[in-house]
Amino acid sequence: MPYDDEIPPFGNHADVPEVFHELTRAVIGAAIEVHRKLGPGLPEEAYQRACEIEFAARGIPFEPQKPVNVVYKAVVVARGRVDFLVAGCLVVEIKAVDCLIPLHRLQVRTYMRILKQPLGLLINFNVPLLKEGIKRVIDTEPIPE
């Protein structure tokens, strides 16, 4: 569900395809389970691998460390990796930091634009309660062709 400061990408929240709600609920549920078992304070790599195990156990389709090409004027200028691309349409970036900063959200939005996806999740595992570390990122601007 969108946070108060976000505008749904499909005009009305009711117009958001149910697949996005189902995927975000499934991913958040899996992340909560990982956080319950591991707790905060570990390296990001531990949460990455644990999420892979939990997604697989729950039947959530995902691509870990999805490669992305950064293109400038039709030339690949760099390559990056998105932590997860879930079901081919949900960008998931995980962190293990003291606090999320605006740059983290911008990073997710950039990956969303590169992959031409309107929705992402930013999950910071370094918090006492995981719900405090989950941010939904919605790109309200048109995705360039």
Give me the average pLDDT of each 10-residue run along the chain (145 residues): 40 59 94 97 97 98 96 95 96 96 94 92 96 88 51
> Would 4 be classed as within a structural domain?
no
On the 0-12 / 13-18 / 19+ scale of CB atoms within 10 A, 123 is buried
Crossing angle between the packed helical segments 44-57 and 18-38, to the nearest 10 degrees? 120
> Would 6 be classed as within a structural domain?
no
> Would 7 be classed as within a structural domain?
no
Tokens standing for residue 140: 């309200």
> Would 115 be classed as within a structural domain?
yes
Contacts of 39 (CB under 8 A, 6+ apart): none
Tokens standing for residue 125: 């595992």
> Would 2 be classed as within a structural domain?
no
Q: Check residue 140 and give its pLDDT.
A: 65
Domain residues for 69? 13-138
Structural domain count of the chain: 1
Whether the model clears a pTM of 0.95, i.e. scores above it, the answer is no
> Would 17 be classed as within a structural domain?
yes
> Would 145 be classed as within a structural domain?
no
> Would 78 be classed as within a structural domain?
yes
